[in-house]
Amino acid sequence: MESYLVHLLVVIATSAIIHIVQAQDQQGFISLDCGLPANELSPYIETTTRLNFSSDAAFIQTGKIGRIHSNAVSKSQRPYTTMRYFPDGIRNCYNLNVQKGRKYLIRAIFTYGNYDGRNIEPEFDLYLGPNLWTTIYLEAQSTREEMLHMPTSNSLQICLVKTGETTPLISALELRPMGNDSYITKSGYLVQYRWRYLNNSTTQSYIRYSSDIYDRIWLSYFQKEWTQISTTFDVNNSNEYAPPKDALQYAATPANASAPLTIEWSSENLHDQYYLYAHFAELQDLQANEIREFNLVWNGQHLLGPVTPRKLDLVTVFSRSPRTCDGGKCILQLIRTNRSTHPPLLNAYELYTVIQFPQSETDESDVSAIRNIVATYPLSRINWQGDPCVPQLLRSDALNCRNTNMSMPPRITTLNLSSNGLTGIIAAAIQNLTQLEKLDLSNNKLTGPVPEFLGNMKSLLVINLSGNNLNGSLPQALQRTGLELSVEGNPELCISDSCRKPPKKKVFVPIVASVGSAAIVIAMLVLFLVIKKKKSTIQQNLTMPPSTPKWNDTFANKNSRRFVYSEVIKMTNNFQRVLGQGGFGMVYQGNVNGYEVAVKVLSQSSTQGYKEFKAEVDLLLRVHHTNLVSLVGYCYEGDHLALIYEFLTNGDLKQHLSGLEYLHIGCSPPMVHRDFKAKLADFGLSRSFQGGVESQDSTAIAGTPGYLDPEYNQSGRLHEKSDVFSFGIVLLEMITNRPVISQTSENSHITEWVGSKLKRGDIVEIIDPNLREDYDSNSAWRALELAMSCANPSSSKRPSMSQVIHELKECIVLENSRVYNNQGLVSQAMSISLDSSVGPMAR
């Protein structure tokens, strides 16, 4: 027998209050209207529950949009009027950000509504990560699945898997964070079977959010053998389960006071295991000599009790162990004790079945590495969704995994990306596949050197790099015994000792900054977006450890900023968080004396090196501006060489422009940045020019594809207008909210795309749709024309940076005037200005 005292849960605590407040604010809620176009009233507030729903477009990359027939559901039943269906691929997955170790209520809703006119109900499987959750049968046109789950990582994947001829679909996906101290099982997870409150009213058939802070959907339930009792007073429901007060104001008792209160159901599976949670609150005034006391009996066996409900105060009792039903028939009875003067009472109850998820997810670091590799190239393979290794029948192609024990996370052992049209350098994320045994990157268009890290991956036994455009010399670490290496078909790759140059001193340099430019550009949005960002700065006068490096005279005055390599490891938490990667090396986030910094480390496979590192440091010692990245310190210790910079937070457009203009007209000699994308950094590629004279520097062409001046790219001649071109591209990015180079568009470069749209004369198609046409059209036209003139292929037809700033000021005057006319005033927080008065401080 199980003691009632063990299972009585009455938690009137601060934690319960916190849970209530958080849930009422929808904190952590995910509510996706599947199939709702991203630009169609998303997000919106559902009228009945006041829940905030949004489009699912940001959480899945596949599928098509469908709408149910108008006679299948009323408009009031939104968000279930649209769906996303998946005619392509076997497994299609949603990827949701969650909190690892936090319990969630997960709800998936499926409504067919004859959206395709075929009137054939779909049937398919629903997976949670690598484990089968349930099979969906849409015989009744609509169904709902709910379960309680605790993710084992910060990413949750919910997958629809095609099992026959019909097409999987989904209408809504909802996640609700729960209290972690509730619904504890011996093993497995809980699948919702019943949420019932005992009310015979016909006016209110269900209760959910916001009456229920966890958004459980409670259905009313009553039997003719029962008697209804109720109260108009609030019932205290402060415990971890927090059933809705509306439900607790009602209760049922047997009409025959001597009879038990009985609930029966049939178990769909003889082996189903159940957990019961019963909620009680006394609603009647009992005299001092009266008592209501009863036991809970499951299929004739004592389950819990005796229970004595408290007046207007919640008591929740539950079974610690799961129960089965003999013969598939389940009977729950509340039976009064001999000393009870009143019949048993029940306000609400919850029933769950148990589901086991035996298959562990693939190792989290392997999953992260694969996602980074897919994003690097990029790979848009539909069967690379979901867990990469398991279940085995749905495993991503091009992979093999070690999965000897279901309770242990599988590890990726083979990666075969042969003949996939890969371009660029070999992805650094490959080195994070620490159990990789075979790597095949053959027959692609990969360029750059063979990275040193491949030789340091001791698990690798086979590497095939043949049929690419790799160059440089082959790292000696790759010529180890037991490694099968194929590199034929790389005409510029040197594999003999005779062509290797003596090794240079490696310079470990964290230069940071422009790697994060994409995020900065997005954050700046559009010139005429009238919300100014606050700019956080990093204090320049940080205390650095003293040292006496043996360096040339140019670097002599940097001793006060020198770090040792162990300090670099500490400030980056052992290089834990990667900000990005460039041709120079990896960039990591760090912390120095409480200030965020960015640390750029020279890669051994980098095509850049000491020359660019020295140029970067020289320039930042000589040139200072509030909008040029600040040097915090450096590391020079043996082969370890690094630069530590301020961490670049998002600034406004004024700051970025004044930085670039300063390089052109405020420095002596003037500087051309060559790789301008946002706030200025990476000066290892910078070059000086004398006035308006073009530079004849013989240095190899360097910069970011798409942003690079086509004249400079063809002739190698550098001039002020090279940066103007790059800035024009950035301005187009901000105006359109489109990538510079799109592989899916007929006009791949942003200038081609904008040019084709301009021929139609409709600016609405060009401007970022997120602005919803909330801008001055004259200002928008002028800014767009300015951007296109900056990006003119002919440098002679481009304006100077000073002219650019003047023109943008005029645009801003128009926009501010619009705001003034619309609002009656221009507040300091909402008006835009462009002030280039920040004076140069060249040294």
14-28, 101-115, 480-494, 777-791: segment of lowest average pLDDT: 14-28
CB atoms inside a 10 Å sphere around CB 761: 7
| pLDDT value at residue 744 | 62
| pLDDT value at residue 500 | 52
The first and second tokens of residue 155, run together, are 């990413």
Nearest to 376 by CA among 472, 451, 457, 464: 451
- The band of 164, judged by pLDDT with boundaries at 50, 70 and 90, is very high
- The band of 787, judged by pLDDT with boundaries at 50, 70 and 90, is very high
| pLDDT value at residue 741 | 83
- Which comes out higher in pLDDT, residue 16 or 346? 346
The first and second tokens of residue 213, run together, are 């802070």
59-63, 583-587, 596-600, 695-699: segment of lowest average pLDDT: 695-699
What Cα–Cα distance (Å) separates residue 12 from each residue in 239, 278, 314, 693? 6, 17, 10, 78
Mention every residue, 6+ apart, whose C-beta is less than 8 A from residue 41. Answer: none
For residues 674 and 718, the answer to whether their CB atoms sit within 8 Å is yes
For residues 342 and 290, the answer to whether their CB atoms sit within 8 Å is yes
| pLDDT value at residue 499 | 60
Whole-number average pLDDT of the chain: 80
Residue 483 CB burial class (10 angstroms; 0-12, 13-18, ≥19): middle
The first and second tokens of residue 657, run together, are 């422009």
* Catalytic position from the list 675, 682, 723, 776: 675
Annotated binding residue 600: yes
Report the SS3 class of residue 658. Answer: helix
Please check the confidence at residue 646 and state whether its pLDDT lies above 70.
yes
Please check the confidence at residue 21 and state whether its pLDDT lies above 50.
no
The first and second tokens of residue 95, run together, are 């990827």
What domains sit in the chain, N to C, each tagged with a CATH number?
34-181 (2.60.120.260), 190-355 (2.60.120), 364-499 (3.80.10.10)
Residue type, 336: R
| pLDDT value at residue 168 | 98
Dist. CA 252–CA 256, nearest whole Å: 12
Mention every residue, 6+ apart, whose C-beta is less than 8 A from residue 373. Answer: 379, 415, 417, 427, 429, 430
| pLDDT value at residue 711 | 81
The first and second tokens of residue 506, run together, are 């490696």
Residues 463-467 have a mean pLDDT of 97
Mention every residue, 6+ apart, whose C-beta is less than 8 A from residue 385. Answer: 61, 62, 89, 91, 92, 93, 157, 159
- The band of 558, judged by pLDDT with boundaries at 50, 70 and 90, is very low
Residue 832 CB burial class (10 angstroms; 0-12, 13-18, ≥19): buried
Residue type, 601: V
* Share of the chain residues as helix, strand and coil, in percent rounded to the nearest 5: 25, 25, 50
Please check the confidence at residue 381 and state whether its pLDDT lies above 70.
no
41-50, 527-536, 642-651, 760-769: segment of lowest average pLDDT: 527-536
329-338, 650-659, 668-677, 721-730: segment of lowest average pLDDT: 650-659
| pLDDT value at residue 77 | 65
Please check the confidence at residue 472 and state whether its pLDDT lies above 60.
yes
Please check the confidence at residue 216 and state whether its pLDDT lies above 70.
yes
pTM score > 0.75 for this model?
no
Residues 492-507 have a mean pLDDT of 59
| pLDDT value at residue 737 | 87
Please check the confidence at residue 550 and state whether its pLDDT lies above 80.
no
Residue type, 12: I
Q: What are residue 243's DSSP bridge partners?
A: none
Pairing of strands 462-464, 484-486: parallel
| pLDDT value at residue 743 | 61
Dist. CA 331–CA 189, nearest whole Å: 23
| pLDDT value at residue 678 | 53
Q: Examine the residue annotation and report whether 675 is marked as an active-site residue of this protein.
A: yes
For residues 168 and 135, the answer to whether their CB atoms sit within 8 Å is no
Residues 451-462 have a mean pLDDT of 94
- Which comes out higher in pLDDT, residue 552 or 51? 51
Report the SS3 class of residue 497. Answer: helix
| pLDDT value at residue 297 | 98
Dist. CA 261–CA 278, nearest whole Å: 13
166-175, 669-678, 806-815: segment of lowest average pLDDT: 669-678
Residue type, 427: A
